[in-house]
Structure formats: structure tokens, C-alpha cells
Amino acid sequence: MAKRLKPVDVVVVGSSWSGGVVSAELSKAGYKIVCLERGPKRVLDDFTGVKDELRFTNRFELMQNLSHETITSRTDIDEVALPVRTREEMMAGTGSGAGSVHWAGATYRYWPYDFEIYSKTVERYGKKKIPEGMMLQDWGITYKEMEPYYERWEKTAGISGERDPLGERKSDYPNPPLKESPPIKLFKQAAKNLGYNPYQVPSANVSQRYENPDGEVINACMYCAFCTQYGCDFGAKADSLVTVIPTAQKTGNFELRTESYVRRVLHKGGKATGVMYVDTKTGQEYEQPAKVVVLGAFTFTNNRLLLLSGIGQPYDPKTRQGVIGRNYHGQFNITFRGARGFFNDKKFNLYAGAGALGGTFNDLNADNFDHSNLDFIHGGAVELRQYGDGAIASNHVPAGTPAWGPEFKKNSIHYAHRNMVVWYTPAIMSWWHNYVDLDPTYKDDFGDPLLRVTYKYTDQDRAIAKFGVEKCAEVVKEMGADIIDKDDIPQEFDHIYQGGHYAGGVIMGSDPSTSALNNYLQMWDMENLFVVGASAFPHFGGHHPTATVGALAYRASEGVEKYLKEGGILAEVRESNTA
């Protein structure tokens, strides 16, 4: 029997950027907030002195334990999906701060083209440019409307960067870019020689001590190289643990409950009444009533909770009707493909680095180049990153080198500081056959169905990846590499869910028949339920998603506050849809 707790104004599921931003903004406004996080409590001191590659990179200590709950995966709607069982196959953050703690820090805005992708594609190329089966649609919001929210998130996170020569932004980043290391200088010069417009990767690894508008301090990056898959013991990487969670806690209106596994959104008469969750330490079930429910968790969790709770119409691929689960997409093994260069006479200090220390350019992203004679739409960014090589994972040798023996040993030693990779981060479009639903066979510890992912690559995916690899190889050649190894293009999906860049399923838009949310991330079908995170993306842009997740969280925070004050579906949304 679930114990009923004292009602609060808002219950938030998830403590990463989505849930953290909403919690901070609403608690500052005076509302009583409870935030539920399924993983353990974590603080910065937990990461002190634990720069341990084996523990975090190889054994995935910050990631979800998939023996309790995972996903199932298949490539075709007629196949039987099988569970993804190892954290090497799927990494999903958990614990206080969740995925914001272990992210690298690369921070990009999506392009104006992204938010109006259907309209702008048809306007320039005509409807025939869009392949049959591609679920292309506008987001129901424009870049101009999004820009203030991007700026708010960048100021909260203290983003360090320089302006993209091709970008559209009104203000500079809050902090100057990270250092321009020799590899970055080499990359930038090569890109300029080829006619591109390179600049420094915008970074949440902060370049100098910074105090954000809420008074939270983020320290200067030490270039220690322990960013991706690690918590930052210096407090130099912007995450929810050093920004929005402390801000919320200082108000006295916020409570974070960890090891709290949410199983259902409770609802009655067309409105959410709260959530039901389990304290995984004791096994006790609780009902947390609230005026507003905010799902601010990972894409998989947001989708699964709605499906388990019977909220919204599930997507049916046979009829292509329904909204919950449609437009699922993400950056899988076919993305981050490029070319690795090996240098015989140039040597670099590749142990120093940071998660977002790097150079990039966007000449081949969005619709910044003519697609008239290309067999794909959109594009991606070309990047070089100096993460800082780990002793275990960084043993790159040229193709054709034996996997063991004297030649392998010789090459691994010689090229240890003489190799760099340039990759492409292509946009991922949505297709009718890629979606999520509940698995009919496999269940979690509580007997609830697991989320089932149905996903396969398309000609669009393979074409854009091949295009990107060739462009990366040209840059590496211009950098002066003596040996260039180009990545192969996977032909079929391999069921590897690495990186955490998965989106869609609970998408935003202007039409309730093709979207679950309005542009405040408020559900059309349940006006006091907001679903915040990358699950709202109708497609995946040619960049990392975090800045857009953060910006949308600020937009959603405004929506929740408007709802609490005014009630109903927001008036301005109704007006924009009937205009």
C-alpha cells in the first residue's frame, strides 16, 4: 500500500539539467518543489581524488545499473527485441545530477533551420526533397523565440567560447574560450586553408572562475582530462550539482529525494494528480501529490512513464497515427565518424585536455551549404577534440598493424602522441519505422514492461555519414598527417547505445495530431503535465543536445509558472495555433 505524502506545488522527476533548471526556477519563484532522482545521492566531494580510468571509463561507475531496468532493442517491427544488458552497450547517467555530471561539456545552439526544418526545406528545395517515410516537421517555435532561453542557460552554465563566424547570436559567451592548444591551432589553420570558418568549441569546462547570475561559482578548468564519464572534483565543469540544484536548495522551497524510482504518473479526470514512486532503500511505495507534474528525466524514462501511465495516444507504425513514441532518434554508432591522422614528425601533449577542448566549423551543418545535388538533407559539425588521452583507452595504431607483437608495440609507442581524430556529428532525421513502445515480454524489477526501441539506419544516415567522413579526411590531410585512416560506415544498427544522445518520442510541435507537447513542453492531453528534455526533439540537429535541453527547460519553467498562475492550456499557445 502506497503512503500518501503531503501535497506540493510541483513534483519533478529527474535531477539533471532538465529537472534541475525547472526546480531552480520554480523554487526561486516561491513554489514548493519535490525532485525525485532514481540514483544515489552524490556531491562534489565524492569525486575528489578519484581520477580513475578503470573505475569510470571501463567499469562505468556513474552509469545506470542495467540489471534492474534497461531497454530492449530491435531493428525491425517484425523482430523480437532483446534486452541491452551491459553498460558498455548503453550508458545512462544516474544519481544526483544524473547525466549532467558525466557529460563532456561541448555546448552548441541548434540552428534556425532546425526549428523550422520542414518549412525551410520545402521553401528552398520543394517537397520532393523529403523522402517518403521521413517524419520531418517544424518544432512549433523559432530560433528567435529560443534565443533568450539559450542565453539564460549559457549564463547559468558559464559557457566559455568564441562566436561562430556563421552563427546567429546577439551576445558573446559569458566567458572566453579555453586555451588554443597546438592540435587546435593546426586544425583551425587547415580548416581555413580549405575555405572553412573554424572557431573554438563552446565549453562548459569553464575557462576562468565564474559566478553565475544565481550566485553559484564555477571554478577554472585545470585541463586534467577527466571530464567525459567523470564528475569534476574541481567544480570546473558546469553541471546541475554546481549550478541549479544548489540554487534550488538555497530557497528553502526545494527537496531532492534520491533513490526514488518513479513508476507512474497518477491522473484522474484528465489531469495529473502526482506520481507514485518506490524508495529503493526500503521498498516502501509513496504517492506524491502535486498541482503540476514535470517529467524531466532521460528520453527513455520520459517515454516509458507516459506509456506505463496510459497518458497520450501511443504511436502505431502501421497506421502512423499516435504521438507517444514517434520520432525517436539519436546519435548512434553511425555518428561521430571521421578520419584519424598519424604524424611521423609532429608530437603533441595529448594527455592534457578537457571534455570540450577543441576546434570546429559549421560550414557543412544545417542548410549552410547547397543540398540540391546531394542525397540527404541537413548536415553536421566537423570537430577536433583534445579530451586528454587515458592510458588504457588510448592506444591507436595505423590500420594494418597487427593486434599484438613487436610491430604493434613499436607503433603504439611511436604514435602515442602523434595521432588525432577529426569527426563529423551529423543530424539524425526521424522515420516512421523508428519509434519506442512497451516490450510485451521483458520486465523490470517491479514487473513493469521495459521500453522497447525499434531502430534501423536509412540511406539518409549512411549518405550523410559518408559525406562527413570524406570531409574530415580532407581536413586531416591538410593538417599534414602522414597516414590517414577513414572510419567505415556501418550498414546496420548494432544495438550500441553509447554517448547518451537519444531523443524524441514525446515531441513538441504546433499540431496535437503529430506532437505530444506545445512549445512550453506542456502536454496537449494533460495540461498540468510538462515533459522536459531531449524527448521533445522532433529530430536531432547536427550538434550535441545539451544547450537545447537547457534552453527548453527555461522555456518550460515559464510555462509551468504561467499555468500555476493562470490555469488551462496557455493562452498564447492557443492564439498562435489559430492565427
The rounded distance, in Å, linking the Cα atoms of 168 and 147 is 9
Geometric angle at alpha carbon 44, from 38 and 45, rounded to 5°? 115
Largest CA distance in the chain: 73
Concerning whether 501 is annotated as a catalytic residue, the answer is yes
Identify whether the C-beta of residue 528 lies closer than 8 Å to the C-beta of residue 265. no
Using the Cα atoms of residue 385, residue 387, residue 388 and residue 392 in order, give the sign of their dihedral. Answer: negative
Of the candidates 501, 539, 543, 544, the residue annotated as catalytic is: 501
Identify whether the C-beta of residue 522 lies closer than 8 Å to the C-beta of residue 554. no
- For the chain, how many residues are written? 579
Q: How far is CA 466 from CA 129, 332, 472, in A?
A: 19, 15, 10
Query: Which of 95, 110, 87, 119 shows the shortest CA–CA distance to 16?
Result: 95
Look up residue 232 and give its three cell numbers. 569534476
Q: How many CB atoms lie within 10 A of CB 528?
A: 22
DSSP letter assigned to residue 56: I
Q: How far is CA 232 from CA 128, 157, 390, in A?
A: 48, 14, 16
Beta pairing partners, 517 = 508, 523
Give the up-direction half-sphere exposure of residue 152: CA atoms within 13 A in the CB hemisphere: 23
Amino acid at the residue 365: N
Residue with cell 518513479: 262
The rounded distance, in Å, linking the Cα atoms of 540 and 71 is 20
Amino acid at the residue 419: N
Q: Which residues 6+ apart lie within 8 Å of 577 measured at CB? A: 510, 511
Q: How far is CA 136 from CA 85, 116, 165, 288, 405, in A?
A: 32, 10, 28, 38, 51
The rounded distance, in Å, linking the Cα atoms of 442 and 70 is 10
The rounded distance, in Å, linking the Cα atoms of 477 and 483 is 9
The rounded distance, in Å, linking the Cα atoms of 194 and 484 is 17
Residue with cell 519505422: 433
The rounded distance, in Å, linking the Cα atoms of 475 and 49 is 38
Look up residue 391 and give its three cell numbers. 592510458
Which residue numbers are catalytic? 501
